[in-house]
Amino acid sequence: MIEFEQFEDTVTCIKTASPLGGQAIMWVYAYHVEDVVIDAGCWNAVEELRTFTKKHKVKRVFVTHNHEDHYGGCAAFLPEAEVFTGPITLESLREPYPLPEFFQFVWGRPEPVTEGKQLEATSIEVGEFSFEVVNLSGHCEEMVGFWEPERKWFFSSDAVPLPSRKQMSMPEENIPKMIIRMQEIRNRDVAVLFDGHRGPILDPQDHIDKRIQFLSNLQVQVQDMVAEGKTVPEMKQVLGFPEPWYLPNTERRFGVEHLIRSLAEDKV
Query: What is the spatial distance between Cα 171 and Cα 40, in angstroms, rounded to a whole number?
Result: 23
Residue 184 has a pLDDT of: 98
In a domain, residue 83? The reply is yes
Q: Which amino acid makes up residue 159?
A: A
Q: How many C-beta atoms surround the C-beta of residue 250 within 10 A?
A: 16
Note whether residue 215 is domain-resident.
no
Residue 157 included in any domain: yes
Q: Is residue 254 part of a domain?
A: no
How many separate domains does the chain show? 1
Q: Look up the domain containing 90 and give its range.
A: 2-165+177-205
Residue 172 lies in a domain: no
pLDDT at res. 138: 98
Give 81-115 pLDDT, tens digit per residue. Answer: 999 999 999 999 999 999 999 999 999 999 999 99
pTM for the predicted model, two decimal places: 0.96
* 227 domain-assigned: no
* Contact (CB, 8 A) for 44 and 83: no
- The DSSP secondary structure of 179-190, one letter per residue, reads HHHHHHHHTT--
Task: Say if CB 92 and CB 143 are below 8 A apart.
Answer: no
CATH code for position 94:
3.60.15.10
| Cα distances (angstroms) measured from residue 236 to each of 83, 160, 204, 260 | 41, 23, 30, 7
Residue 152 inside a domain? The answer is yes
Q: Splitting the chain (268 residues) into consecutive groups of 10 residues, what average pLDDT does each group show?
A: 97 97 96 98 97 96 98 97 98 96 96 95 96 98 98 98 97 98 97 98 97 98 98 97 95 97 96
Quick check: helix, strand or coil at residue 173?
A: coil
Identify whether 229 is part of a domain. Answer: no
- Model pLDDT, residue 99: 95
